[in-house]
């Protein structure tokens, strides 16, 4: 069961998670690519871009829940809260609030992909598409 944030949380804390700036932990594209090669180290991948963006190219194994609906869908997220989670977006802006939100819901080890899909693609790393 996913722990929900306290209802006594301050107003600023309730809205702060959404701000797309500030520091959250990051993993470099090259480091993530190495981890994905080893199933024992492979993190859970959450892509928070729109479905249309995700269809055009995403990391293999990533699931897609757009940041605009993540809060309402977080309880359906079938991730292990004790295992690492990497959040992904296009340029590492939408993934910042995703990291904060997952942490608020009790996920222990959450980071974002540094530079997002732009950096991933700049490194020529593998992705898959869902386009018809």
Active site residues: 89
Looking at 25-109, which runs of residues are DSSP E strands? 26-27, 44-47, 63-64, 85-88
The answer to whether residues 42 and 61 touch, using CB atoms and an 8 Å cutoff, is yes
CA gap 131, 91 in Å, rounded: 21
The DSSP bridge partners found for residue 113 are: 27
Which whole-number Å values give the CA distances from 89 to 40, 51, 97, 98, 129, in the listed order?
24, 11, 11, 10, 15
């Amino acid at each position: 069961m996913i722990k929900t944030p306290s209802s006594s949380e301050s107003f600023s804390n309730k809205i702060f998670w959404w701000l797309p700036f500030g520091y959250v932990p990051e993993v470099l594209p090259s480091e993530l690519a190495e981890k994905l090669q080893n199933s024992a180290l492979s993190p859970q991948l959450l892509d928070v871009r729109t479905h249309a963006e995700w269809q055009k190219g995403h990391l293999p194994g990533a699931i897609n829940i757009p940041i605009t609906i993540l809060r309402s869908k977080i309880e359906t997220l079938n991730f292990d809260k004790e295992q690492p989670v990497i959040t992904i977006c296009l340029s590492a802006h939408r993934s910042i609030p995703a990291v904060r939100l997952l942490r608020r819901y009790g996920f222990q080890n959450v980071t974002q992909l540094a530079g997002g899909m732009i950096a991933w693609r700049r490194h020529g790393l593998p992705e898959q598409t869902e386009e018809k």
